[in-house]
Amino acid sequence: MEHKIKRIGVLTSGGDAPGMNAVVRAVVRTAMSRGVECIGIRRGYNGLIKGDFIRMDAGTVSHIIEKGGTVLYTARSEEFKTEEGQKKAVDTCRLLGLDGVIAIGGDGTFRGALALSRHGIPVVGIPATIDNDIGCSQYTIGFDTACNTAVYAIDMLRDTMQSHERCSVVEVMGRQAGYLALYVGIATGATAVLIPERSVDVERDVVEKIRQARLAGRTHFMVVVAEGAGSAMDISAKIHEATGLDPRVTVLGHIQRGGSPTSRDRETGTRMGYEAVQALMSGNGNCVIATKDGKIVNIDIEEALAMTKEFPMDRYDVLEAVTTNG
């Protein structure tokens, strides 16, 4: 049964992720197909507080599915964390006549959505973060693109490392999660990968692996470090002290957030955007749209925020096996 929904808002918040535009496009076009007006809130929750918005239609979302970043811009809002800031945001929702809001982002975005829902505004969250660290969803929009960007960069680095017979230490993003580093490490055939989910022993996890690779005839070495597992500069210094090698450090940084989204992020983002509108239309607001076993599911937002995610340590076992003996 569909509820009377006339107008909804959509926003992107927190760190940007490739595929956010695919979600926005799907939200707008699905809403239009249901006769619902869509208002884009610019700059996340700051936009709700300050009334920064744009009326969206088919034209405003044409040719954005292939673009990285977010056409709605994004920001973090300290003011929204306060009761006064939340009241301003709710007042904006009521002024604009929004019957619901779709919030695209990570854990902080969902906590903001929960705050809005507790003030009576139906909200649907969509997980979009390159860190892939949202407990309720097996996959988050942007992760696949970020992995591919990092793999491309590391493949290029390997070309020059081979030419000079050097060691490269590459730091990838992920905050306190090692998903990006582990997936990229496996995909690039890294000599060693350091992740925050596993205690780091540089002698065991890096130096000995470099020695084994050298004994097997290798003359160049690739070490991938998750930012939550330590500093690439510090790891480089320890490698130099233990082996005499002079590693080159590369911090990939925010290039991992950019670029045209992969087909997976476009397709998954589109499905999630569609399901978010469907949830509001059927009266199932105050939820998060997530992935589970390849399917799109709808989870109560309070339940979703309480969920934790088991890190796929079996993939670290794969890494260990394929890097044995260099």
Cite the active site residues: 131
| Residue 325, C-beta contacts closer than 8 angstroms, at least 6 positions apart | 212, 216
The distance of Cα 289 from the centroid of its chain, to the nearest Å, equals 15
Tell me phi and psi for residue 104, to 5 degrees: -110, 120
Instruction: Quote the tokens at residue 104.
Output: 């695209």
Instruction: Quote the tokens at residue 251.
Output: 């911090």
CA angle 245–248–249, rounded 5-degree value = 130
Distances (CA, A) of 276 to 104, 152, 154, 163, 296: 10, 33, 36, 50, 10
Instruction: Quote the tokens at residue 272.
Output: 């999630």
Tell me phi and psi for residue 83, to 5 degrees: -60, -40
Instruction: Quote the tokens at residue 87.
Output: 């009241």
